[in-house]
Amino acid sequence: MADEKSDENDGYREIKEEPTPGRYIKARYVLAFMGFLGMFNVYSLRTNLSVAIVAMVNSSSESEGNASNVCPDRGQSTSETANSNGIFDWNSADQGLLLGCYFYGYIVSNVPGAWLARRYGIRLVLGIAMLLSSVITLFTPLAARASFDLFVAMRVMLGFLQGVSFPTMQGAWGLWAPPMERSALISAHVSGASFGTCVTLPLAGVIADEAGWEAVFYVTGSVALLWSLVWLGIIHNSPSEHPRISEQEKTYINNSIGVDTYKQEGVKRRTPWKSMLTSLPLLAILTGHFASNWGNYTLLTMLPTYMSSILKFNLSTSGFLSSVPYILQWLFTVIGGYITDVIRRRGLASTNVIRKVNTALGLGIPALFIVLAGYIGCNVAAAVAFFSISVAFNALTVPGCKANTVDIAPKYGGIIYGMSNTLANIPGFLAPQVVGLLLLDGNSLTQWQTVFWISAAIYIAGALVYLVFGSATEQSWAKGDIISIQKQGNF
């Protein structure tokens, strides 16, 4: 029989896992790895346009009257820094709309996606959504050539389909993650987003330079299509449904998290919507998540443009330099999640304390360095270093406020993350459009400094709200009321 002991800080029941005979890859680690690859593809399909748009737009005429002359030419031709081969005449506001319209669809489907995952399971919901996303991406070049409005509509639909991704995976850990492994497992799958960014940005630049902007969408869409088929073939909704999981692992997971009674035949759990919306700890999570994403999306969508227009690099170089911060973000996400769980297991700090420390570091340090990046002029090494520090430390919000949803309501982790992710992705369309409007009057360093100051202010506001109102205690409303399906109908 597995030994049990209480965690004095958090009240979690820690259970030792019995060893599995022979060579065996644990099913929850397979899920984490596939989730990592899934988020890789989500961000690959999301960020491919950030680089491709530089090759798509004919910016030579705009550059002549609106480009920054702060930084010197870096030995690259004018046709490289001010692209004259692009076939689309979109101004900065049009580009801001294209880069942000994905999130109009994305924010709509987060909560419905979490609800669908609870009803039909993570396998079908995420697998089908990504399958359709890959098909849309493959047809994107055709849509772009057909009309601007159709291109916008395709990106909105792509966002709508991918809005289910993070809530679905977050909800999955309510059934798959032992409490003391939550930070590491959540960080593992979320880190796929940073890895997808750091691979896609330089690779898309090279592909666009060598094979044309259309190939960026063909390559990323094909990879996502392959992942979707593998996911549908090997992933299962819960340990109890998995045909290949060992009995030792199944018992360990189920005993660690407890039997999820809403899955029992004949009963369901009422979702306490009113209590959720009036919960201060939940509102603190929403605020911290929003602040984290505002700065992250500002750089994610606009950094290639900054590298090209201000620092005067060609497409391949700007894509590579833009990816460097996300390499560090990926490392910080994985390592931060692991260290967080080590601290919790050893009782060095309570879950509440470590979540707040992570969030304070993940918002405070990025606020400082994103502002500094705007004041170092044309010093490329310093610019890349400051952007990298800002983006890397932002990753600590993953084992901070973003993982907090499963702490306060493990049975509703997916739905709560869907609510949080809905609000937090408003910056996805708002931030690039704010940048686009600011740059209409001149693509100068002064305008970019304003962009960075806005991000810093939002970072600090989010950190303060979370520090005051955040909590890692499971909320009373999260335990919910079990009611009869026969009396109430379907969930």
3-class state of residue 490 by DSSP: coil
Residue 4 confidence (pLDDT): 37
The whole-number average pLDDT for the span 214-243 is: 94
C-alpha distances in angstroms, 214 versus 137, 139, 488?
A: 10, 10, 51
Strands 267-269 and 13-15: unpaired
The whole-number average pLDDT for the span 31-38 is: 95
Listed in sequence order, the DSSP H helices in 121-246 are 122-138, 140-146, 148-162, 165-176, 182-211, 213-234
Band (13; pLDDT cuts 50, 70, 90) = low
Lowest mean pLDDT among 32-41, 183-192, 265-274, 482-491: 482-491
3-class state of residue 389 by DSSP: helix
Tokens of 27: 């099913």
Residue 414 confidence (pLDDT): 74
Rounded to the nearest angstrom, the gap between the alpha carbon of residue 236 and the centroid of all alpha carbons in its chain is 23
Tokens of 300: 């994610």
Residue 10 confidence (pLDDT): 55
Residue 487 confidence (pLDDT): 38
Residue 54 confidence (pLDDT): 82
pLDDT in tens, 109-163: 988 888 888 889 999 999 999 999 999 999 999 999 999 999 999 999 999 999 9
Residue 1 confidence (pLDDT): 35
The whole-number average pLDDT for the span 458-469 is: 96
Instruction: Look at 245 and 8; give whichever has higher pLDDT.
Output: 245
Indicate if the pLDDT at residue 353 is higher than 90.
Answer: yes
The whole-number average pLDDT for the span 449-454 is: 90
Supply φ then ψ for residue 329, to 5 degrees. -60, -40
Greatest mean pLDDT range, 300-304, 336-340, 464-468: 464-468
Lowest mean pLDDT among 42-46, 62-66, 452-456: 62-66
Indicate if the pLDDT at residue 371 is higher than 90.
Answer: yes
Instruction: Look at 336 and 317; give whichever has higher pLDDT.
Output: 336
The whole-number average pLDDT for the span 362-368 is: 96
Beta-carbon count within 10 A of 347 CB: 11
Residue 479 confidence (pLDDT): 76
Indicate if the pLDDT at residue 29 is higher than 60.
Answer: yes
Which residue has 């740059």 as its token pair?
439
Q: Distance between CA atoms of 251 and 245, rounded to whole angstroms?
A: 10
pLDDT in tens, 274-284: 888 889 999 99
The whole-number average pLDDT for the span 92-114 is: 86
Mean residue pLDDT across the chain: 82
The yes or no reply on domain 25-75+87-257+277-474 and CATH 1.20.1250.20 is yes
Band (23; pLDDT cuts 50, 70, 90) = low
Q: Distance between CA atoms of 301 and 101, rounded to whole angstroms?
A: 12
Residue 194 confidence (pLDDT): 82
Provide the sign of the torsion angle of the four alpha carbons 308, 312, 315, 319, taken in this order: negative
Band (268; pLDDT cuts 50, 70, 90) = low
Q: Distance between CA atoms of 481 and 475, rounded to whole angstroms?
A: 13
Measured CA angle at 347 (ends 342, 352), to 5 deg: 90
Q: Distance between CA atoms of 445 and 435, rounded to whole angstroms?
A: 12
Indicate if the pLDDT at residue 69 is higher than 50.
Answer: yes
Q: Which amino acid belongs to residue 439? A: L
The whole-number average pLDDT for the span 178-200 is: 86
Provide the sign of the torsion angle of the four alpha carbons 338, 339, 343, 346, taken in this order: positive
3-class state of residue 139 by DSSP: coil
Closest CA to 42 of 153, 176, 171, 200: 200
Greatest mean pLDDT range, 345-349, 435-439, 475-479: 345-349
Is the CB of residue 276 less than 8 Å from the CB of residue 419? yes
Instruction: Look at 325 and 37; give whichever has higher pLDDT.
Output: 37
Band (318; pLDDT cuts 50, 70, 90) = low
Which residue has 């894509």 as its token pair?
319
Q: How many residues does the chain have?
A: 491
Instruction: Look at 447 and 215; give whichever has higher pLDDT.
Output: 215
Tokens of 120: 């039909």
Is the CB of residue 163 less than 8 Å from the CB of residue 113? yes
Beta-carbon count within 10 A of 112 CB: 17
Band (78; pLDDT cuts 50, 70, 90) = very low
pLDDT in tens, 156-188: 999 999 999 988 888 888 788 888 888 888 888
3-class state of residue 216 by DSSP: helix
E strand map for 249-306? 267-269
262-265: list long-range contacts, CB under 8 Å, 24+ apart.
262/411, 262/480, 262/482, 262/491, 263/238
Residue 21 confidence (pLDDT): 58
Is the CB of residue 48 less than 8 Å from the CB of residue 281? no
Model-level pTM?
Answer: 0.71
Is the CB of residue 86 less than 8 Å from the CB of residue 61? no
Indicate if the pLDDT at residue 232 is higher than 80.
Answer: yes
Greatest mean pLDDT range, 326-330, 367-371, 408-412, 472-476: 367-371
Band (64; pLDDT cuts 50, 70, 90) = very low
Residue 316 confidence (pLDDT): 64
Residue 231 confidence (pLDDT): 96
Provide the sign of the torsion angle of the four alpha carbons 407, 408, 412, 413, taken in this order: negative
